[in-house]
Amino acid sequence: MTYSPTTGNATAAAAQNEGGTSVIDAYMHIGVPRFGSPEHIFHVLDSCGVSHAVAVLGPLVPDLPGLFAAMRERPDRIRGVGIPFGADAGERLELARTEVKGGVIGMRLSFEECMATPGMLELLGDEGKCIYALNPVASTEAAELYLQWLDRYPDSFIAAPHFLFPGFGWQDRTKLDGSCIELLRHPRFYAILSRQGGNGSMRPYPHPDYLTWVEFVILHCGWERILWGSEFPVYLWRNETYSQCVSWLSELLPYVAPGQLQAFLSGNAMRLLFSKPAGRAGEASIPEWLETQFGEVRNRTIPLVQNAALDIPGELYYRLLDAYLKSDDFTGERPFNDYLIRTLHAILKKR
């Protein structure tokens, strides 16, 4: 998959701001090492002119200290969303309580996690927290569960990250039953259109195979219940830039009005997530089992480029290939990738 060249990351939001449009990132990941540190998020916000952001823990990287630090250091600009890590329901609920005590606005959950962790939905609802729900219209059961939860807890809301499906046609709307449509129309359901290039699109940027689905979502949610998210830093692994993420909807829907774009990129998120001061976070004691259970897996390898080849100039590649063929890695039948990683480590050690 290829992408059109666009403005560099550092000027992405600045270009939008020239037209009077501010930017709030409703879905950024956080967590060392795979998803970055608080300083990385702050750098992106400051460099790209992004006013506020929601920092969401990533799968299998339970960096609670990093999440809490980001929320504590920029309480006016950062909101946090946790994940219920743990090997069983007891551990997941324990950690959810820890994250709620630490000040998160909600939890990133799948329907399966909701069902497998009794007490989770009650905890979030009783505390007035939200759910960042993964594919809440995947089934009738999921949609009905979330509708019941919204009815029971009027101070809470549901936001759905990665809410993009490629190849959706208007004839496919019959695949979504009444409960799914009712959830889309619920006044406290919000669609976060993130992961623009990584949700199965088979078309180049701006991924026109999302078009009908996006129009379908806007028809049911309206422009007042859709939010924008970059999915930092995962978009880097897809050979994308921040500016492409920011510009994506206006490229997909060239007829979008400035007020509609403003609502999508920041207005809705400001009203929903940042119109009130952050709640006061308590001192949260992180359980010792967390690092023991996740210490190794959180350091797993990263698919640096998912949807495109890594473009290396021919001259540079030739020199790398030549050096590899002369190296112990080649004679030891170790792959080129190992050699490249070792070379990068050596360069960084010399800095």
Q: Is 270 exposed, middle or buried (0-12, 13-18, 19+ CB in 10 A)?
A: middle
Look over the chain and give the mean of its residue pLDDT values, rounded to a whole number: 90
pLDDT tens per residue across span 297-308:
988 888 877 766
Please, which residues have CB within 8 angstroms of residue 115's CB and are 6 or more apart in sequence?
A: 145
Measured between alpha carbons, how far is residue 13 from residues 45, 49, 247 in Å? 9, 5, 9
DSSP letter at 36 equals B
| Residue 302 forms part of a structural domain | no
Per-residue pLDDT, 278: 84
Structural domain for 232, as ranges: 9-294
| Residue 3 forms part of a structural domain | no
Per-residue pLDDT, 1: 28
pLDDT band at 19 (very low <50, low <70, confident <90, very high): low
pTM: 0.88
Q: Do both 288 and 317 map to the same domain?
A: no
Per-residue pLDDT, 210: 96
Q: Do both 103 and 62 map to the same domain?
A: yes
Q: Angle 179-136-182 (CA atoms, 0-180°, nearest 5)? A: 25
Q: For position 228, which CATH number holds?
A: 3.20.20.140
Q: Do both 212 and 325 map to the same domain?
A: no
Strand order in the sheet with 189-193: 24-30, 52-57, 78-82, 106-110, 130-134, 158-160, 189-193, 226-228
Q: Do both 265 and 344 map to the same domain?
A: no
Per-residue pLDDT, 299: 84
Gap between the Cα atoms of 283 and 102, Å rounded: 6
Gap between the Cα atoms of 43 and 20, Å rounded: 22
Q: Do both 100 and 55 map to the same domain?
A: yes
Nearest partner of 143 among 29, 251, 220, 49, judged by Cα = 220
Per-residue pLDDT, 301: 85
Q: Do both 242 and 341 map to the same domain?
A: no
- From the CB of residue 347, how many other CB atoms can be counted at a distance below 10 Å? 9
Q: Do both 334 and 257 map to the same domain?
A: no
Q: Do both 259 and 195 map to the same domain?
A: yes
Q: Say how many domains are in the chain.
A: 2
Please, which residues have CB within 8 angstroms of residue 266's CB and are 6 or more apart in sequence?
A: 21, 22, 23, 24, 51, 52, 228
Is pLDDT above 60 for 10? no
Is pLDDT above 70 for 114? yes
Nearest partner of 303 among 237, 226, 228, judged by Cα = 237
Residue with the bigger pLDDT between 170 and 293: it is 293
Q: Do both 241 and 326 map to the same domain?
A: no
Per-residue pLDDT, 223: 98
pLDDT tens per residue across span 188-226:
999 999 998 888 999 999 999 999 999 999 999 999 999
Per-residue pLDDT, 188: 98
Percent of the chain with pLDDT over 70: 93
Q: Do both 325 and 267 map to the same domain?
A: no
Q: Do both 249 and 131 map to the same domain?
A: yes
* Cα within 13 Å of Cα(242), Cβ side: 25
Determine which helix (DSSP H) or strand (DSSP E) holds 128, and give its type and residue range. Answer: none
Per-residue pLDDT, 97: 97
| Residue 209 forms part of a structural domain | yes
Instruction: State mean pLDDT over 227-250.
Output: 92
